[in-house]
Amino acid sequence: MHKHFKYTTAITRGIAKSLPAEAQRMDHTVEPVSYEKAKSQKQSYVDILRNKLGLKVIELPTDETLPDCVFVEDVVVIIDNTALITKPGHVTRIGEGTEMECCLKTLGMNVVNMAEIDPLAAVDGGDVLFTGEEIFVGVGNRSNLAGYKVICDTFPSYAVNAIVVEDALHLKTSCSLAKPGVIMVSEENPRIQKMMKSLQDVATKNYRYISVDGNAIGSNCLFVDSEKLGPVTIHPSLKAYPLIKSAYDAIGGVTLIECDMSELSKVDGALTCCSVFISI
Ligand code: GLY
Give the binding-site residues of ligand 1, using a 6 Å CB cut-off: 23-25, 68, 71, 90, 93, 169, 267-268
Give CA–CA dist 151/87, Å, rounded. Answer: 12
Predicted TM-score (pTM) of this structure: 0.96
pLDDT at residue number 245: 78
Strands 134-139 and 159-164: parallel
From atom 5 of ligand 1, which residue's Cα is the shortest distance away? Answer: 24
Q: What is the mean pLDDT of residues 21-27?
A: 94
Q: For residue 126, which atom of ligand 1 is closest to its CA?
A: 5
Q: For residue 23, which atom of ligand 1 is closest to its CA?
A: 1
The residues carrying an active-site annotation are 170, 273
pLDDT at residue number 279: 94
Q: What is the DSSP string of 183-242?
A: EEEE-SSHHHHHHHHHHHHH-SS--EEEEE-S-GGGG--EEEEETTTEEEEEE--TTT-G
Domains along the sequence of the chain with CATH = 3-278 (3.75.10.10)
- Of 88, 54, 53, residue with least CA distance to 71: 88
Cross-strand partners of 182? 179, 208
Q: How confident is the model at residue 215 (pLDDT cuts 50, 70, 90)?
A: low
**Is a pLDDT exceeding 60 seen at residue 1?**
no
**What's the chain's length in residues?**
280
- Of 2, 97, 6, residue with least CA distance to 55: 6
Q: What spacing in Å lies between the alpha carbon of 221 and ligand 1's midpoint?
A: 17
pLDDT at residue number 188: 83
Chain segment 134-190, per-residue pLDDT in tens: 999 999 999 999 999 999 999 999 999 999 998 889 999 999 999 999 999 988 888
